[in-house]
Structures are given as structure tokens and as C-alpha cells.
Homo-oligomer: A and B are copies of this chain.
Amino acid sequence: MGDFTHFNDQGRAKMVDISDKEETVRTARVRSSVRVSKEIYEAIQGNRIKKGDVLSVAQVAGIMAAKKTPDIVPMCHPLPLKAVDITFEWTVENTYELIIDVTVKTKGNTGVEMEALTAASAVGLTVYDMCKAIDKGMIIGPTYLLEKTGGKNGDYRHDI
């Protein structure tokens, strides 16, 4: 049976000891999305030019949230983030889906999956917040790890 690393002998969560782990450059790339109505899609796209850029607010929120990760995810170690980047793309077929890609980089003793996942979540939440006056039926996520590099356990790539 798989075993958790986050629990002590008393069966209570701990912040696991990473003092022996190597300090290397580590990256994580995460994908999330927000499915929106046609009306919201057009408002976001149209407004970027004329009236206000929803995505630029969301992306600031994502970068700030990456830095807050150890304050949001209880057992997460504080890490010196070296880079955070967020890009957007639309998938417009029958539905209108905003694709959110987040890349985080550190040089530290443990990976930055949680930082990238947290940033992506905050981006989705902020898009929802800015557009909810138009329609509350938006769907945030699914959110998942695309890829990680660095660290003892080797690289990871999401199967598609």
C-alpha cells in the first residue's frame, strides 16, 4: 500500500525533513482552465482593447498566490521562487475554454508543483470573480501537473 510521508508516529501531519535533499534547479508546469459562456468570452476578448483586461488581473493574482503557497497549503515548505510565468490560450469549439498554463522555477531542496498548482488555482478564481456579474455558471479546472523537472525522483510528464 502506498505510504504517506507527511505523518509522524502519532499519526499526525508534519512538515517532512528535506534538509538532506539536494539543492537543485527545479521546475513545474501546471495546466488549469475556466469554461465560460459565450458572453463572457466576448467580454474578456473585447475588453482587453477597450475597457479593461481581466486576464492581466488574474495573472497578477496567480504570481502573488505562488508566493503565498506555504501559507495556503499547510505542510508545504517555504521555497525561494526564482521565476513564475503564466500564459493564456483560448479553446473555442462548442464551448469557450480559457487555458491557463503556469511555470514555476526554484533552486531549492524540494519541488514547486504546489506553487504552480496554487498559482493556477488563483488565476482561475480571479477570472471567476471578475466575470461572475455576467454569469455564475463558470467551471474552474480541472487543474493538474503537466511536467516537473529536477530533484532525485527524476522528471515527471503527465500522460495524455
**Interface, chain A (partner B; CB < 8 A):** 1-19, 25, 32, 35, 39-40, 42-43, 46-47, 50-57, 59-61, 63-68, 70-88, 105-109, 113-114, 117-118, 121-122, 124-126, 128-145, 148, 156, 158-159
Contacts and interface: CB of A to CB of B under 8 A. Distances in A.
Identical copies in the complex: 6
Nearest to A48: B11
A39 B3 CA distance: 9
A143 B32 CA distance: 11
B144 A137 contact: yes
B114 A128 contact: yes
A117 B125 contact: yes
A107 B117 CA distance: 26
